[in-house]
Amino acid sequence: MRRSDNILSIIQKLVLFFITLSLIVGLVPMQSAHAAANFNTDYRVTYTIDESGIAHSLVNITLTNTSSQYYAPSYKMQLGFDEITNVRAQDSKGTITPVVTKNDAGYIIELKFNNKAVGLNSKQEFQILFDTPTIARNHGKIWEIDIPGISNPNDFSSFVVDLKVPPSFGAPAYTKPKQPTNSLSFTKDTLGKSGISIAFGEKQVYKFNLNYHLSNPNLYPITTEIALPPNTNYQEVYLNSIEPQPENVIQDKDGNWLAQYRMRSAQKMDVVVNGNAEVNLKPKQVELSPDQLQKYTLEQKYWETSNDQIRELADQLRTPEAIYEYVVNALDYDFKRVTEEKPRLGALGALQNQNSAVCREFTDLFIALARASGIPAREVNGFAYTQNAKQRPLSMEKDILHVWPEYYDREKKTWVMVDPTWGSTTGGVDYFDTMDFAHLAFVIKGSSSEYPIPAGGYKFADVEPSKDIDVTFTTEEVLGMNTDTIQTESSIPNVVIAGLPMQGKITMNNNGSTYLPPQILYLASNTFAPNSQAIATEGIPPYGKAEVAVRFQPTSFLTNTEGDYTILVAGVTNVQTVKAAPFYLTPLGGGIIVGILTFTLCIIAIKSRRLRLFR
CA 209 to centroid of chain Cα atoms: 16
> 580 or 527: which carries more pLDDT confidence?
527
Q: Which fold has domain 484-581?
A: Immunoglobulin-like (2.60.40)
pLDDT at 399: 66
- CA nearest neighbour of 155 among 236, 35, 8: 35
First to last CA, the chain: 160
- Helix %, strand %, coil % for the chain, to 5? 15, 45, 40
Q: 39 near 28, Cβ under 8 Å?
A: no
User: pTM for the complete prediction?
Assistant: 0.85
CATH architecture of 290-451: Roll (3.10)
- SS3 category, 611: helix
Peptide linkage before 452 cis (omega within 30 of 0): yes
pLDDT digits (tens, 9 = 90+) for 397-407: 556 689 999 99
pLDDT digits (tens, 9 = 90+) for 361-395: 999 999 999 999 999 999 999 999 987 666 666 65
Quick one: which H or E segment has residue 23?
A: strand 19-29
pLDDT digits (tens, 9 = 90+) for 160-200: 999 999 999 999 999 988 887 778 999 888 888 778 899 99
d(CA 26, CA 141) in angstroms, rounded, equals 45
- Per-residue pLDDT band for 584 (boundaries 50, 70, 90) equals low
- What lies within 8 Å, CB to CB, of 61 at 6+ separation is 41, 42, 43, 75, 125, 126, 127, 128
Cβ atoms within 10 Å, residue 33:
14
**DSSP string covering 509-532, please?**
EE-SSS-B---EEEEE-SSSSSSE
CA dihedral (111, 112, 114, 116) positive or negative: positive
- What lies within 8 Å, CB to CB, of 611 at 6+ separation is none
Q: 204 near 140, Cβ under 8 Å?
A: yes
Domain ranges of the chain: 8-200, 290-451, 484-581, 587-615
Amino acid code (one letter) for 274: N
Is the pLDDT confidence value at 338 over 80? no
pLDDT at 389: 64
The rounded mean pLDDT for the chain is 86
What is the 3-class SS of 374-443, one letter each residue? CCCEEEEEEEECCCCCCCCCCCECCCCEEEEEEEEECCCCEEEECCHHHHHHCCCCCCCCCCCCCEEEEE
- CA nearest neighbour of 320 among 229, 242, 405, 203: 405
User: How far is CA 345 from each of CA 17, 77, 330, 384, 563, rounded to the nearest angstrom?
Assistant: 28, 44, 15, 22, 65
Of the given ranges (425-439, 458-472, 601-615), which has the lowest mean pLDDT? 601-615
- Per-residue pLDDT band for 106 (boundaries 50, 70, 90) equals confident
pLDDT at 73: 86
- Per-residue pLDDT band for 154 (boundaries 50, 70, 90) equals confident
Order of all β-strands in the sheet with 142-147: 136-139, 142-147, 196-200, 172-176
Amino acid code (one letter) for 541: P
Section 325-341 average pLDDT? 88
Does domain 8-200 correspond to CATH entry 2.60.40?
A: yes
Section 244-258 average pLDDT? 97
Domains 8-200 and 484-581 share a fold: yes
Quick one: which H or E segment has residue 352?
A: helix 346-352
DSSP code for 96: E
Is the pLDDT confidence value at 615 over 70? no
Is the pLDDT confidence value at 580 over 90? no
**DSSP string covering 45-75, please?**
EEEEE-TT--EEEEEEEEEEESSTTEEEEEE
Section 293-301 average pLDDT? 97
CA 440 to centroid of chain Cα atoms: 3
Phi and psi of 169, rounded to 5°? -70, -30
Is the pLDDT confidence value at 28 over 70? no
Section 591-602 average pLDDT? 71
pLDDT digits (tens, 9 = 90+) for 556-579: 888 888 899 999 998 899 999 998
pLDDT digits (tens, 9 = 90+) for 30-82: 322 335 568 888 999 999 999 999 999 999 999 898 888 878 888 887 777 88
Phi and psi of 571, rounded to 5°? 80, 5
Residue length of the chain = 615
Q: 71 near 63, Cβ under 8 Å?
A: no
- CA nearest neighbour of 506 among 482, 527, 535: 535
d(CA 554, CA 427) in angstroms, rounded, equals 72
- SS3 category, 166: coil
- CA nearest neighbour of 412 among 305, 320, 318: 320
d(CA 226, CA 246) in angstroms, rounded, equals 10
